[in-house]
Amino acid sequence: MSGPRAIQPGTITVSGHGGAEAPPDLAAVALGVECRGGSVDAAFTAAGSALAAVSAALRSAGVADADLQSTGLTVRADLVWRDGEGQQVAGYIAAGTLAARLRDLDSVPAVLAAAVAAAGDDVRLNNLQLVVEDTAALRERARAGAWEDAARSAGQLAALAGATLGRVVSLAEQPTAGGPVPLAGLQRMSAGQGIPLEPGLNREEATVTVSWELLPRRQGADAEAPALLRARRP
């Protein structure tokens, strides 16, 4: 909580922070393939076949077409240094990536294992994130918590000053950093390896800054606050 700062006479401005948590309901996976060949065509063809095999394995595991998307395809020379010859082209490397949304978290290890088995050592797991697909309700709860925090702090400060809160003068939501934390990517996977997942909780946070009018406290209303202040003065 920030301290009060006067933006104009008779007002108080306070920032409040709130958060809300929910278990993830979606795994966002970025899979890739990387294939070598003696020519551009050979490397490109091998990468295309490997990507097709991964896509077919994911569909066979129940992943919907709408949850699959090709996100990249590159071909580059495989350069090596040879004594007396300098840098030489030893072949070509083609790489492609595929984004998949897996909606059954319990099946993620088995689905990934099937995808790996389809293309073997050519497969790369570039990234995996466990997320809440629809964060609107989570953000609303975080905002409500931020508002309550600001209102509670402002009310306490107003009481200590022998005043009470009036109408809201201004209200702003501050941008907050956040979002899902990716699991560490693996450059290569083995089809025989299980990948245990611990879903945990995803968190949304919100910060609001609110300004209220400060009104004189009515006679007889909560007289303890001024008395308490007098008692605490040196």
Tell me if residue 189 falls in helix, strand or coil: coil
Structure confidence by residue, pLDDT tens digits, 171-206: 999 887 655 544 433 334 444 446 677 888 999 999
Q: Which residue has the tokens 């009060």?
A: 4
Residue ranges and CATH numbers for the domains of the chain are 11-23+135-180+202-232 (3.30.110), 26-131 (3.30.70.2970)
Choose between 234 and 201: higher pLDDT: 201
Quick one: pLDDT at residue 178?
A: 55
CB 26 within 8 A of CB 132: yes
Q: Give the strand pairing for 86-102 and 202-216.
A: unpaired
Express each pLDDT in 90-103 by its tens digit: 899 999 999 999 99
139 vs 134: CA distance, rounded Å? 10
Helix (H) / strand (E) element for 211: namely strand 202-216
Q: Is the pLDDT of residue 31 over 80?
A: yes
pLDDT tens digits for 64-123?
A: 999 999 998 899 998 888 887 778 888 999 999 999 999 999 999 999 999 999 999 999
pTM: 0.70
